[in-house]
Amino acid sequence: MLTEEELIQQCLENDKWALEQLYKQFAPKMFGVCLRYAKNRMEAEDILQEGFIKVINNLHSFRSKGSFEGWMRRTMVNTAINHYKKNLRHAREMDIEEVEVENNSELKVLDKISTDELMAMIQQLPEGYKVIFNLNVIEGYTHKMIGQMLGISENTSKSQLLRAKRLLKDKIKNYGTHGAE
Amino acid sequence: MEQNSFEHKIQKKFDGYQPTPPAHVWQNILFELKQQEKNKNIAGRFRRRKTLVAAIAAGIAAAALILFYVFNYSNTSHHNTLPEKSKITEDSSNNTPSDTRNHKSRINKDTQTVFSNEDSSNNNTDEESARQNTGNSSRTKDTLKKDEKHNEQNPGGLPMDKNKYIREKSAGILTMLTPYPLRQPHSPHNDMTPHKRLSSHDNNHLAETKEQGFSKISSHGKWSFGLYATPELLMTKAPAANTHPNYSADFAAIYSMKNFFIQTGMSYLSGNNNTDVDVDYLKYNFLGSYEDVYEVTFDSTENGVEPTYHTKTVEVYDTLQKQTSSHFKNKYRYLNLPLLIGYGRQISPRFSVSLKGGPILSLMLKDNRKVGFNQPNTDITNMTAPEPRAKTNWQALFSAGIEYHVSSTIRFALEPRIKYYFNPVYNLDNTIKKNEKPYSIGIRTGVVIDF
């Protein structure tokens, strides 16, 4: 079994077998990341493909100091953000109604729903909200960093995150209600 | 707290979430990578082609520039002589005994094979000079008048008394400048009329006959084209081998003027070397696979707590250390662009010899090095690969040749040659590079056709 370092080395030598192994090893995790940023599965596939080619082309710039998976994940996230920015002008802006959180009923529902179902709800979020939600809640980026990445102010990032959470909670609650029926 | 709990739950939901992407994604990635590689090759080829075209264009431009100047110079000097020849034709026909002051001038000019007439001011100076040389002006005039009369009686030949006069009075200076007709007074050309003698064709013919013997090399310049084959041995301190055989097929365009010539063209050179490639590698033999449980989560259901096992497939290989050694012949292809200057001389009606030298720009067209190891499921740990060769190389060529004239237009050539390489042939490390002074020796044979 090759170590991660050896595998990367072989990939750098353009060994097709090693590239396939790298893909097999990391594609499922990265596909999970892509799905969260995409509108649907097809878009996620596009992001994965684009991101993986970026990873292969920039493999030489990877410094073995940090985690390779982390580096690859960042590349995927950046690809997804670029994808979002590219499609931004075509994105349909949605009017978001303010959803007041009255209780924490969504937490109970959240335990019951599967990851795929949760993923579907996140995917349904408006583009901007979805990206900020993913970057902050899942990836752990600060609002300052998100602001820099997306070219928006820190406050915009904060307010959009708040709205994203409210919307997602609403969806989860609705799911709970729908499921209860 | 509530928010944190919500976020924490979301994060936890996605921990270890690894949906399998469809198979066509990897196929698309492979296709994209292949396309990129193809584009890269095309771009590389285009860059190489651009370099090649630029080098060829520069070579042709340089050769054309040199030839233009040479040809232009040749034409200029040719035109300068023609009017003067016309003048002398007129002068000769109207030669009178009273025109003695021009006569001496003409004698001096004759000795320089220029045949020019001069204005009176110059002639006065020449006459004074002649007087100083003779030391007796009246005798000079008498002698010259006598010579003129003699010339009128024998207009086709050169004045014998004049020769005598020159020999007697100005031997030290004028004999050195005496032209061919003076040295060979009984030449058939002496029987010509002044018009004939001084016509440009005959004049050129005389000059060529005198200076070139049987050489066909014209003072106007002429073009020749040659096809050659050259086997040569390259001597280098490269680690793979000390000598490398090279073979080249050459096309040469030669522009000759008098005894000098400029040669350019192009040559396709094929070289090779032999290398031993030793590879140490690890061979992975697939033994099987197992499902590795990397996480277990528990979900509360109506039936109680149910565990969920998150697994991933782990393939197991048996690693074997192996070694292989192979012998390979590597091939290299070059385009050589020479720009040579030389000197040639005919030594007999059938043979001529030449010396030439100049720079050669060598551009690598193809590097067909064989690494020779491409096995799946292996990891190379050590390999002795053949050293890469330099893509471009400047060389200086020196050559001595002999040519056999089969006919008036066809010659066979045999040229031993030596080439000194300004750059190392191989991209070696600096310590070897310092001592690396490659050179090659070869023999070029071919046929040259004159136009």
- On the 0-12 / 13-18 / 19+ scale of CB atoms within 10 A, A4 is middle
Distance from CA of A152 to the nearest CA of B (A): 23
Distance from CA of A89 to the nearest CA of B (A): 27
Is residue B63 a part of any domain in this protein? no
Within this chain, do residues B120 and B187 fall inside the same structural domain, yes or no? yes
pLDDT of residue B43: 63
What gap in Å lies between CA B262 and CA B282, rounded to an integer?
59
Task: Work out the angle at residue A129's Cα, subtended by the Cα atoms of residues A128 and A134, and round it to the nearest 5 degrees.
Answer: 105
Is residue B323 a part of any domain in this protein? no
Task: Mark yes or no for CB contact A111/B9 under 8 Å.
Answer: yes
Closest CA to A27 of A51, A58, A9: A51
The residue written with tokens 């005039």 in the block is B141
Contact list, B300 vs chain A (CB under 8 Å)? 111
Contact list, A45 vs chain B (CB under 8 Å)? 21-22, 25
What gap in Å lies between CA B172 and CA B103, rounded to an integer?
20
Q: Containing domain of residue B156, as a range?
A: 72-212
Q: What are phi and psi of B413, to 5 degrees?
A: -120, 145
Task: Mark yes or no for CB contact B6/A35 under 8 Å.
Answer: no
Within this chain, do residues B248 and B201 fall inside the same structural domain, yes or no? no
Within this chain, do residues A66 and A121 fall inside the same structural domain, yes or no? no
Are B224 and B206 spatial neighbours (Cβ–Cβ below 8 Å)? Answer: no
Task: Mark yes or no for CB contact A27/B25 under 8 Å.
Answer: yes
DSSP H/E element including A47: helix A41-57
Helix axes B200-212, B23-93, angle to 10 degrees: 110
High-pLDDT (> 90) share of chain A, %: 10
> For the segment A95-141, what is each residue's pLDDT rounded down to a tens digit?
444 444 445 677 778 888 888 888 888 888 888 888 899 999 888 88
What are the angstrom distances between the C-alpha of B272 and each of A168, B195, B334?
A: 70, 65, 11
Residues of chain B with pLDDT under 50: 77-141, 143-144, 147, 149-162, 164-218
High-pLDDT (> 70) share of chain A, %: 86
Domain end marker among B181, B196, B212: B212
Q: What are phi and psi of A92, to 5 degrees?
A: -85, 120
pLDDT of residue B435: 62
> For the segment A63-72, what is each residue's pLDDT rounded down to a tens digit?
777 788 888 9
pLDDT of residue B109: 42
Closest CA to A37 of A178, A164, A172, A179: A164
Within this chain, do residues B203 and B228 fall inside the same structural domain, yes or no? no
The three-state secondary structure class of B351 is strand
What gap in Å lies between CA A130 and CA B397, rounded to an integer?
71
Domain end marker among A90, A117, A142: A90
Domain end marker among A90, A119, A139: A90
Within this chain, do residues A49 and A22 fall inside the same structural domain, yes or no? yes
Complex ipTM > 0.85: no
Is residue B196 a part of any domain in this protein? yes
Within this chain, do residues A144 and A174 fall inside the same structural domain, yes or no? yes
- What CATH number has the domain bearing residue A83? 1.10.1740.10
Is residue A99 a part of any domain in this protein? no
Are B68 and B112 spatial neighbours (Cβ–Cβ below 8 Å)? Answer: no
Nearest CA in chain B to A106: B6
What gap in Å lies between CA A32 and CA A19, rounded to an integer?
20
What gap in Å lies between CA B348 and CA B214, rounded to an integer?
7
Is residue A96 a part of any domain in this protein? no
Within this chain, do residues B175 and B264 fall inside the same structural domain, yes or no? no
Is residue B232 a part of any domain in this protein? yes
Contact list, A107 vs chain B (CB under 8 Å)? 2, 5-6, 9
Distance from CA of B10 to the nearest CA of A (A): 8
Within this chain, do residues B235 and B125 fall inside the same structural domain, yes or no? no
Are A24 and A13 spatial neighbours (Cβ–Cβ below 8 Å)? Answer: no
Residue A137 touches chain B, beta carbons under 8 Å:
yes
pLDDT of residue A127: 84
Is residue B41 a part of any domain in this protein? no
Within this chain, do residues B180 and B255 fall inside the same structural domain, yes or no? no
For B9, the closest of A35, A48, A107 (CB atoms) is A107
In B135-255, alpha helices (H): 137-153, 160-169, 171-177, 180-183, 194-197, 200-212
Are B159 and B106 spatial neighbours (Cβ–Cβ below 8 Å)? Answer: no
Helix axes A41-57, A16-37, angle to 10 degrees: 140
Is residue A32 a part of any domain in this protein? yes
Please count the structural domains in chain B: 2
What gap in Å lies between CA B332 and CA B367, rounded to an integer?
5
Within this chain, do residues B158 and B225 fall inside the same structural domain, yes or no? no
Within this chain, do residues A73 and A131 fall inside the same structural domain, yes or no? no
Within this chain, do residues B191 and B236 fall inside the same structural domain, yes or no? no
Contact list, A116 vs chain B (CB under 8 Å)? 19
Is residue A37 a part of any domain in this protein? yes
Instruction: Give the distance from CA B151 to its chain's centroid.
Output: 55
Please count the structural domains in chain A: 2
Is residue B47 a part of any domain in this protein? no
Cβ atoms within 10 Å of B16's Cβ, excluding its own: 16
Within this chain, do residues B208 and B232 fall inside the same structural domain, yes or no? no
- What CATH number has the domain bearing residue B251? 2.40.160.20
Are B229 and B249 spatial neighbours (Cβ–Cβ below 8 Å)? Answer: yes
- What CATH number has the domain bearing residue A150? 1.10.10.10
Within this chain, do residues A13 and A85 fall inside the same structural domain, yes or no? yes
Closest CA to B334 of B253, B440, B429: B440
What gap in Å lies between CA B91 and CA B88, rounded to an integer?
5
Within this chain, do residues B431 and B350 fall inside the same structural domain, yes or no? yes
Task: Mark yes or no for CB contact B32/A28 under 8 Å.
Answer: no
Within this chain, do residues B185 and B228 fall inside the same structural domain, yes or no? no
Are A138 and A36 spatial neighbours (Cβ–Cβ below 8 Å)? Answer: yes
Domain end marker among B212, B235, B266: B212
Give, as one character, the DSSP assignment of residue A93. P
Give, as one character, the DSSP assignment of residue B245. E
For A1, the closest of B10, B317, B376 (CB atoms) is B317
Q: Containing domain of residue A130, as a range?
A: 105-180
Is residue A100 a part of any domain in this protein? no
Within this chain, do residues B359 and B402 fall inside the same structural domain, yes or no? yes
Is residue A117 a part of any domain in this protein? yes
Task: Mark yes or no for CB contact B2/A138 under 8 Å.
Answer: no
Instruction: Give the distance from CA B442 to its chain's centroid.
Output: 16
Q: A82 is written with which tokens?
A: 């670029």
Domain end marker among B212, B235, B256: B212
The three-state secondary structure class of B416 is strand
Q: Is the pLDDT of residue A181 over 50?
A: no
